[in-house]
Amino acid sequence: MATTTQQRSAAAKKAAATRKRAAASRSQAARKAAATRAEAERTYVEALAIQAERAVLIPVGAALVARDTLVETAQGFRTRTGVERELKRFERRGNTARNRTVREVKKTRTRVERELRQRRNQVTRLVKRNRRQVEQQVRRTRRDFEKNVNGFQKDAEKIVDRVQEQVSTLA
């Protein structure tokens, strides 16, 4: 009997150890799941906090940039020389813009004139070609008509001569 008791005791110890490992594994999995949930909640809260912070910081930053630009612009107008310097800068900028516009207008005018010349030359060539063709057709038609008229005239003269011969033989 001692061996069966020992066998049972060993099996019981083995089962207890298995149960203990399983419980530890479940406990560890539960802790990990709880940590994951906590991390997700913390990440969500942090994301909300970041979005709220951005919503506040963006207008503040834009206002500060506008203020810096205004202060920088006003810096040039504190003294007479500063005002003159700014006015010269504006004049140069306007002059540059005007020159650029004048160049673009000249370029456009040149392009339009070139296209107009090309189209005019095309039309001129087309008119000359058509006139030549019409003149040739008129000459051919006139020549054919004159041949036909001359042929009719000769035929008519022959007929008149024959009729006169027949009349003179009858008379």
Domain membership of residue 43 (yes or no) is no
The Cα 81–Cα 83 span in angstroms is 5
What is the tens place of the pLDDT at every residue in 8-66?
A: 677 777 777 788 788 778 778 778 877 777 777 778 778 888 888 888 888 888 888 88
The pTM assigned to this predicted structure is: 0.42
Q: Is residue 24 part of a domain?
A: yes
| Segments forming the whole domain that contains residue 20 | 1-29
Give me the helices (H) in the chain, please: 2-75, 80-170
- pLDDT at position 7 is 67
Does 1 reside within a domain? yes
pLDDT at residue 92, as a whole number: 95
Q: How many structural domains is the chain composed of? A: 1
In a domain, 99, yes or no: no
